[in-house]
Amino acid sequence: MKRYSAFAVVREAFRNHAGWEKAWVNPEPRDKYDVIIIGAGGHGLATAYYLGKNFGITDVAIIEKGWLGGGNTGRNTTIIRSNYLQDGSAAIYEKARGLYETLSQELNYNVMFSPRGVIMLAQTQHEVRGYRRTAHANALQGVSTEFISPARVKEIVPIINLEGPRYPVLGGLWQARGGTARHDAVAWGYARACSSMGMHIIQKCEVNGIRQHEGKVAGISTIRGDIGCGKLGIVVAGHSGHLADMAGFRLPIESVTLQALVSEPIKPCMDCVVMANTVHGYMSQSDKGEMVVGGGADGHVNYTQRGSFHHIEETARALVETFPMISRLKMLRQWGGIVDMTGDRSPILSRTPLENAYINCGWGTGGFKAIPGSGWGFAELMARGYSPLCADFGLERFKEGRFVDESVAAGVAH
Ligand SMILES: Cc1cc2nc3c(=O)[nH]c(=O)nc-3n(C[C@H](O)[C@H](O)[C@H](O)COP(=O)(O)OP(=O)(O)OC[C@H]3O[C@@H](n4cnc5c(N)ncnc54)[C@H](O)[C@@H]3O)c2cc1C
């Protein structure tokens, strides 16, 4: 694969851009691979990448029913932060945030990581206590966050209304090196790197069965035929329940639609990410100038990828009271993604009842930020059978009552 560089741009400018290669190849599936990953979202692609990079396992196929990055990875609002409460969570999200810092150089693909800072507003005494506690926990975990005053919030976000007709801003949890990245580019960057290692990314190939022999996975059935494998990774977010069903086990997961909207572009007015969890809305400004707005998750299980109308109204109301100047903005687009929610709002990175099958899911409303760390840890779990980063997130925790409770950090936010 040719390297992208300033030199390459200049070179191609002189030859009518005829020399660019396809970023990844679209091969026909082979009969068998050492490893199959189902799901070419960010987590599946990152897992494949680190299997190759860290463990030299490159006989890998990533099987995708639609197009790569077309699931939640290409539908999210791209917030990256690692200010979680529990040690296991802080470790995996901070690992991911750290990898994001140099991901563009690592993949030779501009993922547009923008560490512009993330504020989670505290608008009740409960939130003040909760975020102060998280800031203390983060200090012990080596995650750099601080609890800041309302005056400092106003300094960072001049367009904010501190008074709030319903809930005044009482402070905020500030992570200066949190931020955003371009979601498609993360999927495309990993895909290109996987393809250049010789891995097969097979799109438009829905998996509709998991073939088993004596307690092990022998391969998968797809709409393009059967494919054998030595190990299987299931990384399909909102469709995890279906795939687990095909494999013969159950998951403690509910799939619901989470939605987002984006406005017409306006001049730069807010250079960080603000999350207002009590009134329930969050917002950042894209490089194009659009206000990117995140809304709520449906209260009922569904697979619609649209979301309920009343969430749009609630989100708009929350943001207009937090940022009155946006009240005349026109919204351009609205969409939804099917997120996979666990009861403790923490992911599942686990072995399964099938000896050579592993599952990575349960990222719910907040897994974009985790993609590099999740891929790193899950690849290690698949290659070695154990990963310190995944140790707290096994399926057995639901039987043992050993929850990783992140409902404060992730219950509504992203
Ligand atoms: C509106 C919205 C806003 C969000 N905002 C944020 C945010 O700001 N920050 C954050 O960190 N996270 C956010 N998230 C969550 C984040 O998007 C997800 O946690 C993350 O993208 C999950 O990635 P994934 O690779 O696991 O899943 P996906 O990207 O969904 O990939 C799974 C893939 O599996 C494929 N698949 C499913 N079934 C099959 C099958 N039978 N055969 C083959 N392939 C199959 C799907 O087509 C899909 O491409 C948001 C999500 C949504 C919907």
Say what the pLDDT of residue 367 is: 97
> What pLDDT shows up at residue 164?
86
Span of 40-49, 384-393, 405-414 with lowest mean pLDDT: 405-414
CATH number of this structure's domain 118-180+254-341: 3.30.9.10
Give the position, in ligand 1's atom list, of the atom nearest the Cα of 70: 49
Cβ contact 232:48 at 8 Å: no
Nearest CA to 48 out of 238, 205, 197 is that of 197
| Helices first, then strands: H and E counts in the chain | 12, 18
The pLDDT tens digits of the residues spanning 197-207 come to 999 999 999 99
Residue 131: its pLDDT value, please? 96
- Position 3: which residue type? R
Contacts (Cβ under 8 Å, ≥6 apart) of 180: 78, 79, 80, 112, 113, 114, 116, 273, 284
Query: What spacing in Å lies between the alpha carbon of 304 and ligand 1's midpoint?
Result: 14
Question: What pLDDT score was predicted for residue 295?
Answer: 85
Residue 335 CA: nearest ligand 1 atom is 1
Residue-level pLDDT at 165: 86
Distance 298 CA to ligand 1 centre (A): 16
Average pLDDT over residues 328-352: 95
The 10s digit of each residue's pLDDT in 269-312 is: 999 999 999 998 999 999 999 999 998 888 899 998 888 888 89
CATH fold for the domain made of 25-81+85-107+183-253+344-410? FAD/NAD(P)-binding domain (3.50.50)
Give the distance (Å) from ligand 1 centre to CA of residue 378.
16
Tell me how far apart the alpha carbons of residues 187 and 68 are, in angstroms, rounded to a whole number: 7
With contact defined as beta carbons under 8 Å apart, do 90 and 138 qualify? yes
Q: Give the pLDDT score at 410.
A: 52
408 has pLDDT over 60: yes
Q: Is 114 helix (H, G, I), strand (E, B) or coil?
A: strand
Q: What is the 3-state secondary structure (H, E, C) of 11-37?
A: HHHCCCCCCCCCCCCCCCCCCEEEEEE
CB distance 44 to 203 below 8 Å: no
Report the C-alpha gap between 68 and 333 in whole angstroms. 21
Residue 214 phi/psi, 5-degree rounding, is 50, 50
In 75-97, which positions are buried (b, 16+ CB within 10 angstroms) versus exposed (e)?
bbbbbbbbbbbbebbbbbbbbbb
Residue 409 has pLDDT above 70, yes or no: no
Q: What confidence tier does 59 reach under pLDDT thresholds 50, 70, 90?
A: very high
- Give the distance (Å) from ligand 1 centre to CA of residue 300: 18
What local confidence, expressed as pLDDT, does residue 264 receive?
Answer: 97
How far, CA to CA in Å, does 28 sit from each of 50, 58, 254?
23, 16, 34
Ligand 1, residue 205: give the atom nearest the CA: 43
Q: Which atom of ligand 1 is nearest to the CA of 81?
A: 11
Distance 339 CA to ligand 1 centre (A): 7
| Residue nearest (by alpha carbon) to ligand 1 atom 3 | 76
Q: Which of 171-175, 200-204, 394-398, 403-407 has the lowest mean pLDDT?
A: 403-407
Average pLDDT over residues 333-345: 95
Report yes or no: 280 and 315 within 8 Å, Cβ to Cβ. yes
Distance from the alpha carbon of residue 72 to the mean position of ligand 1, in angstroms: 3
Ligand 1 centre to CA of 239 (Å) is 9
The whole-number average pLDDT for the span 18-42 is 97
DSSP letter (8 states) at residue 335: E
Cα angle for residues 229, 231, 236 (degrees, 5° grid): 95
Say how far residue 28 (Cα) sits from the centre of its chain.
28
How far is residue 27 from each of residues 77, 204, 295, 354, measured CA to CA in Å? 31, 12, 38, 28
pLDDT the model gives residue 305: 86
Calpha distance 163→121 (Å, rounded): 12
In this structure, what are the phi and psi dihedrals at residue 63, rounded to the nearest 5 degrees?
-105, 125
pLDDT at 306: 85
User: What pLDDT shows up at residue 407?
Assistant: 81
Distances 357 to 212, 248, 249, 318, 362 between C-alpha atoms, Å: 10, 12, 11, 43, 16
- Delimit the domains of the chain by residue range: 25-81+85-107+183-253+344-410, 118-180+254-341
Lowest mean pLDDT, pick from 98-107, 139-148, 301-310, 325-334? 301-310
Task: Please give all residues whose beta carbon lies within 6 A of any atom in ligand 1, as ranges.
Answer: 38-44, 63-66, 70-73, 75-79, 206-207, 235-237, 239, 258-260, 294, 337, 339, 363, 365-369, 414
As a whole number, the mean pLDDT across the chain is 95
Alpha-carbon gap, residue 246 to 244, rounded angstroms:
5
Whether residue 412 is predicted with pLDDT greater than 90 in this model: the reply is no
Confidence at residue 61, expressed as pLDDT on a 0 to 100 scale: 98
Average pLDDT for 359-382: 98
The strand pairing partners of 338, in sequence order, are 257
User: Residue 336 has which token pair?
Assistant: 């939804």
pLDDT at 152: 98
pLDDT > 70 in the chain, percent: 98
118-180+254-341 and 25-81+85-107+183-253+344-410 share a CATH fold: no
pLDDT at 414: 62
Task: Give tens-digit pLDDT for 118-154.
Answer: 999 999 999 999 999 999 999 999 999 999 999 999 9
Atom of ligand 1 nearest to the CA of 363: 19
0.85 surpassed by pTM = yes
Phi, psi (rounded to 5 degrees) for 275? -120, 125
- Ligand 1 atom 4 nearest Cα: 76
Give dist(CA 148, CA 142) in Å, integer: 18
Residue 229, pLDDT > 80, answer: yes
pLDDT of residue 413: 55
Asked whether 108 and 4 are in contact (CB, 8 A), the reply is yes
- Whose tokens are 């943001």? That residue is 319
